[in-house]
Structure 1
C-alpha cells in the first residue's frame, strides 16, 4: 500500500510539476511580437457596454508594417479608414468624403504600442493571465484600463480592451498573414479630388 501511495505521489508531483512548468514557460506574446515585421488580417470588432450589452459590430481588413505604418480599413457596416504613416495619422470617412489629420496621441496605453515596440526592447511586457475557450490571454499591466492579447497556439487571435467610456471592445482576427510582403501604397493617403482635407 505504501509503495503504491508513493508511486501515486511521485506521478502526481510529475504531472503537477509539468503543468506549472508549462504555464511558466508560456512565451507566445514575446515570441510573436519579437519576430513580427508585418501582417495582414481580416478583423471583426465588437463593442459592448459596461453591462455587457451589445452595442455595435464592424469588420474589415488590417495591415501593419514596422516600424510605424498601419491601415485599419473598416468595410462594414460603413467604410472608414485609419492610416498611420510614421508621424501622420489620418481618419478617412468615405461616406462624408472627408479626411481628417488626427493628433498623434500617446500610444503606450493602446494595442498599437505593442506592434511598434518589440518586447525585447521593453522592461515590462504583458504576462500570461489565463486560458478560456482555447485562447491564452496575456494582460498588459502598464495600462490603467484592461488590455489583453489572446493567442491560439503561437498566433495572435484576439485583442480585448476597455475604452474611455468603459465600453469593452473585442477584436478577433482571421486569415492572418505574418511577415508577408506589404505594398507601400497601402499606407499612402490617396483621395478622390472631391474629398475635404482637414489638417
Structure 2
C-alpha cells in the first residue's frame, strides 16, 4: 500500500524539524493592487536564497536590481547595490511575524503557533498548502500561504495589509546543504553608506 501523502501542516512540521539549512534559486512576482482606472502593477525579480536555522537567511536579488537582504542571527541587513546604501535593524524586532520566521527561525510548529494561526489550505498546482495568519494586530502581513512538494518548500504566497501580493517560487531547493559561516556575514562594501534604524 503506498504511503499516504502528507498534508500541508505535516509538510511544514517536517520542514521545520528536519531541514536545518536550504539553498535555492528563486523568482518573485509582486503585484500591487490596481488603482482606479489602472491595471495592477507587476514587478518581477530573481536571485538566490539560502537559510540556516536558527534565524539566518539571505535573499540575494540579482535581477532587475542587485539587492541583499541578510539576517545574521542578530541583525537584519538590507543592502542596495545601486544606491551603495545599507541599513541595519535588530533582527528580533524585525523578524517575529514575517515569512522569514516561518522558514528560518522556528524549530517546531508550537513556536510558529505563538505568532501565527496555522491551517491546512486546499491543494493547488500539485502542491500541499498551509495558510498562516499573523496573530499580532499590528502585523504588516495579512496572510502567508506556504506550498510544499513533499518536504521541499516550493512557493510562498504573501499578501500584506495593503493588498500587495508577493509570489516567491523556489526552484529545486537543496535540503540540508553545508553552508559556510561566511554566507550569513555582512561586510559593508567600501564607500557604502550605513543607515541605522
TM-score in terms of structure 1 length: 0.80
CA offset digits 1:83-131 (Å, max 9, x no partner): 1111111111111111111354353321112220122443736332101
Q: Which of 57, 69, 80 is the matching residue for 1:93?
A: 80
Q: 2:146 pairs with 149, 155, 164, which one?
A: 149
Which of 113, 119, 122 is 2:108 aligned to? 119
SS across alignment from 1:145: strand
**CA positional deviation for 1:23:** 7.5
Contact 1:61 1:73 in 2 (8 A): yes
> 1:86, 1:126 → 2: CA distance?
25
The offset of 1:165, in angstroms, is 2.2
CA RMSD of aligned residues (A): 2.4
Structure 1 equivalent of residue 14 of structure 2:
31
Establish whether residue 61 from structure 1 lines up as the match of residue 34 from structure 2. no
CA–CA separation in structure 2 for the residues paired with 1:145 and 1:86 = 25
Distance 1:73 1:85 in 2: 14
Larger Rg, first or second structure (1 or 2): 1
Structure number with the higher strand fraction is 2
Q: Is the 8 A contact 1:99 1:198 kept in 2?
A: yes
Aligned CA distance change for structure 1 residues 187 and 33 (closer, same or farther; 3 Å): same
The CA distance in 2 between the partners of 1:122 and 1:98, in whole Å, is 34
Partners of 2:53 and 2:151 lie apart in 1 by 19
Q: Distance in 1 between matches of 2:195 and 2:9?
A: 46
Structure-2-length-normalised TM-score: 0.81
Structure 1, unmatched stretches of 5+, are: 1-20
SS of match in other structure, 1:190:
coil
Matched ranges for 1:10-25 at <5 A: none
Q: Give the number of aligned pairs.
A: 179
Deviation of 1:67 after TM superposition, in Å, equals 1.1
Pairs within 5 Å for 1:35-54: 35-51=18-34, 53-54=40-41
Gaps of 5+ in 2: 136-140
Q: How does 1:163-182 map to 2 (within 5 A)?
A: 163-182=160-179
> What residue in structure 1 maps to residue 130 of structure 2?
138
